[in-house]
Amino acid sequence: MLETFGHLPVAWLLFAVLAAAAFMAFYVGRTQAVGIARGYTSQLNSQPNYHGYFVAMATIAPAAIILFLYILFGESLVRAQIAGELPERIRALGDLELAQYIDRISEHATRRDALATGNALFDAASDRYTDLVGLSRIAAILLAVLAAAGGFFFGRSRLSGDFRARARVEDGIKFLLFLCAAIAVLTTIGIVASLLFEALRFFSRVNVFSFLFGTEWNAQTGADFGAIPLFFGTFLIAFLAMLVAAPIGLFSAIYLSEYASPRVRSIVKPILELLAGIPTVVYGFFALQFVAPIVRASATWINGLPFIPDGFLAAQPTSALAAGLVMGIMIIPFVSSLSDDVINAVPQTLRDGAYAMGATKSETVKQVVMPAALPGVIAALLLAVSRAIGETMIVVMAAGQRAQITPDPTADLTTITVQIVALLTGDTEFDSAKTLSAFALGFVLFIVTLIFNLIALRVVKKYREKYE
């Protein structure tokens, strides 16, 4: 019995049971309300349907809470229990290996076609694990059913002629809506908490300062966690990208908002936005297959020039320049559409004033519109930089893996995001310094982009208010 439950896909079953219970509760509540009013439903404070909704809500809400708690904590409870039951010599292994041992048990136990391994202790533990999972499920289901029944009777007991069922139901809906809005906040909390937690675990093994200011990065094989080369690579590539995106994006925005006819604008703007819709992995492929060979060939050609010392440029098959150029193309639409917005927000009266003084269009743009739009444009550029720093696929595919500090853009450099992917791809153990370093890098990345974003969003908001 316990064993069958341990294997059963209970989630769907429960979902169906809960849905059925909700329907039944709705029907009961509605009938009861009609009964209370003896058919004259206009006597009721709320429509009978709302009484039905209320009972249904009272029935499933407590059950849902219990099941949610079970999903969150059920497995950890089972694991804690099985850890307590394992013999002393295995418990003496230490937290990490114990956790891995239980991982293996859990994996073995959840596979239904798993055969006995022959290791008596392991098999017994695995069987016990299945039983415990079954037990915890039965307990959770029983509790949920009890809670649902309790809620159901509570809901029924509240119904009466002047019971404000609609208001209660709407309170419930509002709370549900609030929960949905809160998920966004929970996500942020989840990001900060998980990154911080894992990063702190990393910093308990590796000194913060040697991480932030060390110049040797060799996380895959050695234990060198000096992240300066990664920061350098990240910012160099972001800088190269901005060299492409800032002028092209800005000039496109100026042309589109000040010079282009509505017809041209309506054609060109969607084309530029197409650039933003192309997946980054496609840009990465483009950088790797098309741009990187050109960069390499150009570098080889420059090396061959008579007055250039031999090996002046590294001319690697993947290079910071290739990644930077393509990333620049990718963020053109960010710069252009954000700048377009701020330029359009500059009041027409300012322009008209300038024209009245006899200024040409370009003089108006350079001396009136741009100074007025400057904070917004800077914010747009900041957002673009933050985007460039956090971009992953282009650099993973076209920038390389070598952690080094060199001003030569044709050398292969590595970035924060490349290292995160390299460290966490494939099978990862959550307790090695190698894996944890990825979270420390992620934390740095999050903080840096957050600062950029916060400044940019604040400036944009201030700026909008100024001209509204």
Partner 1 sequence: MNSPSEGAANTGSFVTEEALRRLKKRHGAEARFKLYGQLAIGIAIVALVTLLISIFGQASSAFSRHVLSYDLNIEASYVDPERTRDPDTIARNVSGFNLMLQDQLADEFLSEDADRNIQRELYGMFTRLAVLPIARATADSPQTIGSEQTFNVALADDIDLFLKGGVSARKSVAVGVVAAGEGSVEDGITLTLASLDAVEKLRATLTELTRTDVDNAPAVALMKAGNTWYRLEESEGRSLSLTYLAGPRMLPSNGAAIEALVLAQSQENRTVTDRQIAWTEILRAQGRIKSKLNTTLFTNSDSTYPELAGTAAAIVGSLLTMLVTAMLAIPVGIFAAVYLEEFAPKNKLTSLIEVNINNLAAVPSIVFGLLGAAVFINFMGLPRSVPLVGGLVLGLLVLPTVIIASRAALTAVPPSIRTAALGVGASKTQSVFHHVLPLAAPGIMTGAIIGMARALGETAPLLLIGMVAFVAEVPDGPMDESTVLPVLIYKWSTGAERAWEPQTAAAIIVLLVFLVLMNLIAIILRRRFERRW
Interacting span for partner 1 (CB under 8 A) from 155-163, 307-315, 341-349, 415-423: 415-423
Asked if 406 touches partner 1 (CB under 8 A), the answer is: no
| Residue selected from 292, 420, 437, 459 as contacting partner 1 according to rule CB under 8 A | 420
List phi, psi (to 5°) of 431: -120, 5
Output the CA angle 274-452-382, nearest 5 degrees: 50
CB of 389 to partner 1, least distance (A): 7
- Is position 389 an interface residue for partner 1 (rule: CB under 8 A)? yes
Shortest distance in whole angstroms from residue 99 CB to partner 1: 10
Cα angle value 295/299/300 (rounded, 5°): 120
Size of the site for partner 1 (CB under 8 A): 93
For the stretch 395-411, what's the b/e string if a residue is b when 16 or more beta carbons lie within 10 angstroms of its beta carbon? Answer: bbbbbbebbbebebbbb
- Pick one of 23, 68, 209, 259: the residue that binds partner 1 (CB under 8 A): 259
Tokens of 181: 């809005």
Q: Is residue 371 within the footprint of partner 1 (CB under 8 A)?
A: no
Q: Shortest approach of partner 1 to residue 177 CB, angstroms?
A: 4
Question: What distance lies between CA 308 and its chain's CA centroid?
Answer: 46
Out of 366, 462, 464, 466, point to the residue binding partner 1 (CB under 8 A).
366
Query: What is residue 305's three-state secondary structure?
Result: coil
Identity of residue 363: E
Interface residue with partner 1 among 131, 198, 340, 412 (CB under 8 A) is: 198
Positions in 280-309 near partner 1 (CB under 8 A): 280-286, 288-290
Identity at 382, one-letter amino acid code: L
Closest separation in Å from C-beta 23 to partner 1:
20
Nearer to partner 1 (CB atom), residue 28 or residue 441: 441
Binding positions for partner 1, 431-450, rule CB under 8 A? 438-439, 442, 445-446, 449-450
User: Is 332 near partner 1 (CB under 8 A)?
Assistant: yes
Q: Please tell me whether residue 181 binds partner 1 under the rule CB under 8 A.
A: yes
Cα separation, 241 vs 162, in Å, equals 67
Alpha-carbon distances of 154 from 57, 148, 192, rounded to whole Å:
11, 10, 40
Which of 28-36, 116-124, 153-161, 424-432 is the region at the interface with partner 1 (rule: CB under 8 A)?
424-432
Handedness of CA 307, 309, 314, 317 (dihedral sign): positive
- The minimum distance between CB 179 and partner 1, in angstroms, equals 8
User: CA 290, 295, 296, 298 torsion: positive or negative?
Assistant: positive
Determine which residue in the list 252, 319, 410, 437 makes contact with partner 1, applying CB under 8 A: 252
CA distance 44 to 164: 9
**Cβ atoms < 10 Å from Cβ of 30:** 22
Task: Pick between residue 72 and residue 120 the one whose CB is nearest to partner 1.
Answer: 72
Least Å distance, CB 354 to partner 1, is: 13
**Please, which contacts does 279-283 make with residues 24 or more away whose CB atoms are closer than 8 Å?**
279/393, 280/330, 280/391, 280/392, 280/393, 280/394, 281/393, 281/397, 283/326, 283/327, 283/329, 283/330, 283/393, 283/394
Map the footprint of partner 1 across residues 93-152, applying CB under 8 A: 106
Residues 449-468: x where in contact with partner 1 by CB under 8 A, - otherwise, as a string: xx--xx--x-----------
Contact between 397 and partner 1 by CB under 8 A: the answer reads yes
In whole angstroms, how close is the CB of 141 to partner 1 at the nearest point? 20
Q: Which is nearer to partner 1, 170 or 216 (CB)?
A: 170
Residue window 206-245: x/- pattern of binding to partner 1, with contact defined by CB under 8 A: ----------------------------------------
Between 87 and 94, name the residue whose CB sits nearer to partner 1.
Answer: 94
In angstroms, the Cα distances linking 276 to 43, 267, 280, 282, 327 are 59, 15, 9, 12, 11
User: From the list 37, 139, 275, 433, which residue makes contact with partner 1 (rule: CB under 8 A)?
Assistant: 275
Q: Bridge partners of 217?
A: 225
The answer to whether 235 touches 245, Cβ cutoff 8 Å, is no
- By CB under 8 A, is residue 1 in contact with partner 1? no
Which listed residue (56, 67, 331, 365) binds partner 1 by CB under 8 A?
Answer: 365
